[in-house]
Structure 1
Amino acid sequence: MSSRPPQTLDPATLRARLDRARAASAAAGTDALLIAPGSDLRYLIGEAGGSLERLTALVLPAGDEAPALVVPKLEAPGYAHVPAGELGVEVVTWVDGEDPYRMVADRLGKPRRVAVSDNTAARHVLPFRAALGDAEQTLAGPIVRELRMRKDAAEIEALRRAGAAIDRVHARMGEWLRPGRTEAEVADDITAAIVAEGHTHADFVIVGSGPNGASPHHDVSGRVIERGDIVVIDIGGPLPDGYNSDSTRTYAVGEPRDADVAETYAVLERAQRAAVAAVRPGVGAQDVDAAAREPITEAGFGEFFIHRTGHGIGLDVHEEPYIVGGNDLPLEPGMAFSVEPGIYLPGRWGARIEDIVVVTEDGVEALNTRPHELVVLES
């Protein structure tokens, strides 16, 4: 359990989420949801909790039966701030020596089909399988994601705050990114700034300098940054309310040493603008991906754009919807996701531009507002 102060939503919002989850479960032909600690649990009751060897699970029947939070008695104080009574959730505690899986099975009777959180550990999934007998087990993700990927006004405002916080970190990059420093040293400064600007912690800090920038998920290394390097900075993390930031900008440490940087980077800027401009209700997620790829492919760099255009964001950094070829999901107001095309030239350098955007009633709102052009830092 986290030692940070709880950031519980008002009971009315949580009760509505529980009711929608019940309805979605019933519509999917599922008798109950078994929600493990994590972002799904935080979405539904306002507390993510934690999962070790002892079972904690929200048991949410699709029918009229009362939901229950099954939790080890020694961990129950960590859920004391959850307004269980107002949510109609019974807190059921257990102690070592009791069988919590049998407790869940007894509450559910003889379910035909149960859906288990996608992140439930195998040490819990397998005992559930034994306790629930012939019940079919499926993933809860396809049910819960239908609720979570359409953000309400409060969630969008939380993402705005997260976007503004990470923008403030990018605005300070000139303080840290300069020749003679290692990627790891720069990352340490960025990590401290992410916390100073309001995040609980830095979830990820990518500092990809020179040839390391051609690896989209490079992380950091002991490489010493050199004058003329192109550097990809991809950073983000959660604010205390649990909603995440994620933004990438590309920097030059002094004038770029490679003659093709300006022309290639201009292609990337066009691609990112085209993808954002394509976002509006009714457009398929795959069409936004295609809008990003077209300028890059036309310029001859198609083979160097090696990942999807974007991912949803909220209580998880990566969640539905995914902006990728083959996903014909129509975009709807309230969907929030990244738009982050990149061009990666192996052994040389790479570049990526990433904004978080939200689908509005008639278009799109970008939640990151830092300039998109290649920022040349004084060296």
Structure 2
Amino acid sequence: MRWDIFCQIVDNYGDAGVCWRLARSLASIHGQEVRIFCDDLPTLNLLASGVDPAIKQKIDMQPWDASHSNARHPVQTPDVVIEAFGCELPERYLAGLFIASIKPIIINLEYLSAEPWITEFHGKASPQSHGIPKYFFFPGFQEEVGGLLLDPIPAEGHLTDNEIPKDLKVAWSQLRPGAKRISIFCYPGAPLKKWLKDLGSLGEEVDILLAHGHAEQLNLYGEQPVSLPKNLQLISMPFVSQDEYDWVLSQCDFNIVRGEDSFVRAQLAGKPFIWHIYPQEDRAHEVKLAAFLDLYLEEASQELRLATIAAMTWAMPSEWFGKLGVWDAHAKRWRTHLLEKQADGGLPARLIRFVA
């Protein structure tokens, strides 16, 4: 089938990351014909850099305006149109769909959630005055909803020198043998300076891998630079592609992630992590986080539940870091659980079956 995916980037990487991973899975694994129309094509291209050219050339990546600027309607009417995260289709593109002899199906691809209510709304029709069928599709962890984006599934195990991506060789050369590794990719509101100081007080050697731009964004070296003990080392990473970032998560002992795509990848890495969920004014993010933790910690001991909830709500490391070994074992079991629950192919496969 022919698929058009519309992606408007709200957060710098998350929306683009999900759309690219979905397009890649549909095209390279399921043999679908995919176009992406994105309002920030340079960011999308950065995330897709380093991917096997044979995979990338299967996906037609276009600027947003290309969906309607060259003709009154799409050159080829798609079978499926995806509005990623509820973005509105360009009016002129939609007008082209009105006059098409065979109407496509429009999918409103919602944000990932573990909240129970999504099971009632997943797959429901959203009647439109223009008559083109439109449906809500909710990605999620439960079997009866839209599933997760899994591909490519990261391999477990330790790296060899030959496996280090070339963009990361400089950063990796600074790692100290025997030191724990923590990657950090979070929003500016995180209490990171205080968090790092507390981590340093534990006396353990830890190498901190900061996502591109984080040292400046979090003002770690600004007018009042953070002063850390020698057992902590801060290492700034360059901007890396989506695949390279997945690899970083798999090689760290603990990860701090943000956004929907990184959130899922941290789980597939099978390591303990903090999900710095995007804060919302109505505090809806707290409900969303609690719903995920209910699932994630369903089989955990009370001790681990308390430690994980404390970490996820930015309690200082001294309150929970000692439980990292138990948490690591739990994270590996959770990874196995996810792969079993998504053995049907997850989000792209469920989308294809739903449309069919």
Provide the TM-score with structure 2 as the length reference: 0.34
Larger Rg: 1
* Structure of higher RCO (CA pairs closer than 8 Å, 6+ residues apart): 2
Query: Which structure shows the higher helix fraction?
Result: 2
